[in-house]
Amino acid sequence: MRGALVVRPFAVLFACTHNAFAACAHAHVASARLVGSHARPPLVQGAPRQAVRATATPRATVAVTAGRAAQLQLSSAVLDGLDDDQRSAVLAPLDCVVRVSAGPGSGKTRVLTRRVQALAEQPSVQLRSVLALTFSKRAAGELRERLAELLGHERAAEMSASTFHLWCARALHVDLRLSGTEFEALAASRLRELHGLEPGAPLPPDAADAARRLDSQFSIADSDESRRVLKQVVPSLKKALAAAHPTIALDELDWSSAALLRMISLHKSRLTTPPSSADPLLPLLLAHYEEQLLMCNALDFNDLLHYMRRALVELPRAAQLAHARWAHVLVDEWQDTDGVMYAIIKELAAPLAAPAPATPAHATPTRSLFVVGDADQSIYQSRGAMASNLAALESDFAASFLSYALPNNYRSTEAITTVASAIIGRKGATRAARTPAAAAAMAARGAVGPPAADRQVLVVGTDNDDEQRRYVAGAIATITGLRGAPGTGAGGRCVPLSEVCVLGRTSRIVQSLEAAFIECKVPYVLVGGTAMFDRADVKDALAHVRLAIGAGELGALERAVTTPRRGLGKSTLALLSSWIEEVGAARAAKGERRLCPRDFLLALAPDAALAELAVVDSELDVAELRALRERSALAPGTITKLSKFGEVVARARARALGSAHLGDAIEAIVEESGMKQHLIDRVEVAVASAEAAQRIAAAAAATAAAAAAAAGTRVLDARAVSAPDGEDGVLAHAEDEQAALERVLSLGNLARADGRELTPHMDDVLTFLASVTLDSGASDGELVDAVRLMTLRRSKGLEFEVVFVTHCEEGTLPSGGWAGAPLDEAIMDEERRLMYVGATRAKSRLYFTWSKIRTVIGKKSGKGFAVSGEISRFLAQARVQLRSAPGAIAFKKVASARSAAGEQPARRPSAAASMREENAANRAKIKEFERRYG
């Protein structure tokens, strides 16, 4: 029967009439808490999940149903393909705070997107007021793709689906429409905290000047820029610390940029303001660092969150605008939110914490907060994440709180879910879905059915680290059919390389696996390498974009002026900076508009370039710029040097502003700035060097062959005399230069990638620059048929047929101590959750590997030394817990990679055999060289 849908166990009938639907939906709301199988309070470590969920009480539901909840009206298509737990979460009423506890593989993204689809069908909801937040660009992209499939591209574009940081950047840049005075007030409030001053108290002159620099055109300081700022402030910071605390031994403190950035980031994520006086360094560090950033009109990643929270708390106009703009907020991975993120969401959802209105819910605009998370997958507490935020919602929004659970795992086999639950230390923490559809999907990929051994989780112990790596590479070669084996999937099929993932606790461990994969000729992709936007060539090109049509800040100028080289040294830049500071201070004293560094370069540009720019730049005040040039105290020689660069900036800006699309503008800037020709020249030089190296190699090989023929001998590897490694290095350099050119030339296409009509207008420019600055994810090689190597943290949210969790030894996983040494309980719990996350990435096969002898790298010496290894306590404890389920996990030892692969152990070769192998290898090298270079 079309037009009606029965949802069990709630027996909710979706009728065509509004009145019938509202009555049934009211019954659904009441049952959401009263039925124990669909609600649970915060998870308690060690307690069975089913038992915890059964303890839910209807206390909060009484407040919700008394006069707040607004019921949903939706078509049956929204609920197609959802199980009962997922449907109940999607159907949660409006004007409520909804927490969904979603285990691994439970379909949380599907529930989140269907919830948005349900909101889109409500007459009281405008898609423009819907905000969906997550943590990584990959997750945000997947969210947007799914929403586009459900809503269509045009409707999906009406709402906001973004990462936390990018959304805050956009809001501060554009959406909140903050004035320069409001930005100054926010910065001044922050600096008063850091200086220990009362609200409204006057700031020191330098701090007051820094606060005045911040405006809506601020730039975002990436990690490189933050390190540069820290290097600048460390000398003055040491002097200030020594003066304030003479007894402190400065030499004993870690002054590295990495250590200082970790300290700053951890403090900001925990929202501990003002900083504790127990640490004398932190308040001074924050004050010096943030003032220097503000002097550049810049905020770092953490500041984006802090200033967003501060705007919502301290600026009533901004809070009112935000409440109207984002009425329906959805957050994925809620367990990974830190203190600042929670404060932001709490402020956005503040109306839901108030008592229910006296008027009926449908008479006022609806709003809602919908969060999805899992305490068992909280793996960022060491970086400030607070899993306690899951429980905080219930206390902070007691009058409107509802809780749901998604316990079914549709990803992994029963053996994997059983072992994962044992690792996390709670029976039933995740359970394999037993629906017919899930069973059929697993059977299709060979995850269920005989033989039973194929469904076991395998724990493999090896003699040492090298053997462990070889075992992993060899096992993958067998599983994927690279060795000619029939494979291990259903019907003897081979598992695709892209469906195999190898995980390690740290990036160093992951990188150490590469040699074994190369040796076994197993194609692989190292996920998490240098991201495109972290490449120097891309940063150089974007600096020209920032200078020409962005905020035109000093940091962009300093980077753009050095690439390509223009004969402007440090002394010239110092003179320019001094001029900018002097004029800025004078204009600030008069209350005049502050000029950006780009204005000073344009002031020195030739009149013809300014006239050309004035045609397309309606805001350009040529008379003001000429007056600025006339009052300049710079020497004529300095003006001449800077004039040429000013002309480059003026012409680049003119072409960009005359473009219809931001992509065209970026391409024009890359060309006018000289970046394109600069990279082309580098490619030509590299290619010429590679060709010269090939000629030298060929000549050397011919000479060696002639000499050998004259002597009556035979050279097995004549190419060796030409240093083929050096030649390969030259060829690789040419390839790198070509890749750099292609990356920079692709920037224009990236601005067109989302199909948005971005223009060279400042708002669109700042939005694009913020998105690329905050894109810290490297290319994952998603289209490459190769094994994925990555850290455990980076695997969050992914899934693969076969997963290897490597180096599961005490001191590695868990990390932080020797075998048997006591470790901090919070750290130990997070290490346990890391292994749990890694285990639950697997669909069909799961391997854990460990070594009896492991290699430890000394922190100071950088050298490795061998220590005795012991299997991870998490696996040892799981083995004890799983005695009642002996078929779920199997432990084995392998003596070597050869015996693990079913081969005979290799004997030590004789000297003659070694020579024969070496000669064969040399002949192979010669053939490969001739094949490549003719």
- Vertex 270, ends 269 and 273: CA angle to 5°? 110
Residue 880 CA to its chain's centroid (Å): 37
Instruction: In whole angstroms, give the CA distance from residue 900 to residue 460.
Output: 10
Question: What pLDDT is attached to residue 61?
Answer: 32
Instruction: In whole angstroms, give the CA distance from residue 753 to residue 909.
Output: 57
User: Which residues are paired to 811 by β-bridges?
Assistant: 815
Residue 746 tokens read as 């692709």
Question: What pLDDT is attached to residue 714?
Answer: 52
List of residues 6+ apart from 298 with CB closer than 8 A: 218, 219, 220, 221, 225, 553, 555
3-state secondary structure of 156: helix
The total of other beta-carbon atoms located within 10 Å of residue 676's CB is 17
Residue 650 tokens read as 């003026």
3-state secondary structure of 636: helix
Instruction: In whole angstroms, give the CA distance from residue 800 to residue 802.
Output: 5
User: Which residues are paired to 790 by β-bridges?
Assistant: 503
Q: Could you write out the three-class secondary structure of 98-132?
A: EEEEECCCCCHHHHHHHHHHHHHCCCCCCHHHEEE
**Phi/psi of residue 32, nearest 5 degrees:** -60, -35
Peptide bond into 814 cis (omega under 30): yes
DSSP 8-state class, residue 69: -
Q: Is 109 annotated as a binding residue?
A: yes
Q: Is 523 annotated as a binding residue?
A: no
CB 808 within 8 A of CB 460: no
Peptide bond into 360 cis (omega under 30): no
- Amino acid identity, residue 442? M
Token pair 């008069």: residue = 590
CB 622 within 8 A of CB 628: no
Q: Is 885 annotated as a binding residue?
A: no
CB 332 within 8 A of CB 131: no
- Quick one: CA torsion of 792, 797, 803, 808, rounded to 10 degrees? 20
Mutual angle of helices 607-614 and 622-630, in 10-degree steps: 160
3-state secondary structure of 362: helix
Pick from 333, 334, 405, 319: nearest CA to 100 = 405
Instruction: In whole angstroms, give the CA distance from residue 667 to residue 561.
Output: 18
**Phi/psi of residue 718, nearest 5 degrees:** -65, -25
Pick from 644, 639, 649: nearest CA to 596 = 649
| DSSP run (H or E) holding 334 | none
Instruction: In whole angstroms, give the CA distance from residue 93 to residue 368.
Output: 8
Q: How many residues does the chain have?
A: 934
Residue 221 tokens read as 């300081």
* Burial call 223-247: b when 16+ CB within 10 Å, e when fewer: eebbbbbbeebbeebbeebeeeeee
List the chain residues with pLDDT less than 50. Answer: 1-67, 361-362, 436, 439-452, 487-491, 715-727, 776-780, 817-821, 859-862, 897-912, 914-915, 926, 929-930, 933-934
| DSSP run (H or E) holding 851 | strand 842-857
**Phi/psi of residue 65, nearest 5 degrees:** -80, -10
Q: Is 591 annotated as a binding residue?
A: no
Pick from 311, 388, 397, 504: nearest CA to 95 = 397
Half-sphere exposure of 638 (CA within 13 A, CB side): 18
Q: Is 106 annotated as a binding residue?
A: yes
Burial of 455 (C-beta count, 10 Å sphere; 0-12/13-18/19+): buried
Q: Return the sign of the alpha-carbon dihedral for residues 896, 897, 899, 903.
A: negative
Q: Is 427 annotated as a binding residue?
A: no
Peptide bond into 9 cis (omega under 30): yes
Question: What pLDDT is attached to residue 530?
Answer: 67
Q: Is 104 annotated as a binding residue?
A: yes
Q: Is 105 annotated as a binding residue?
A: yes
**Phi/psi of residue 580, nearest 5 degrees:** -60, -45
Instruction: In whole angstroms, give the CA distance from residue 554 to residue 216.
Output: 16
Residue 793 tokens read as 């943290």
E-assigned strand segments in 749-793: 787-791
CB 724 within 8 A of CB 691: no
Instruction: In whole angstroms, give the CA distance from residue 526 to residue 523.
Output: 10
- Quick one: CA torsion of 911, 915, 918, 923, rounded to 10 degrees? -170
E-assigned strand segments in 425-478: 431-432, 457-464
List of residues 6+ apart from 53 with CB closer than 8 A: 36, 37, 38, 39, 40, 405, 407
Pick from 619, 722, 731, 744: nearest CA to 675 = 744
CB 349 within 8 A of CB 343: no
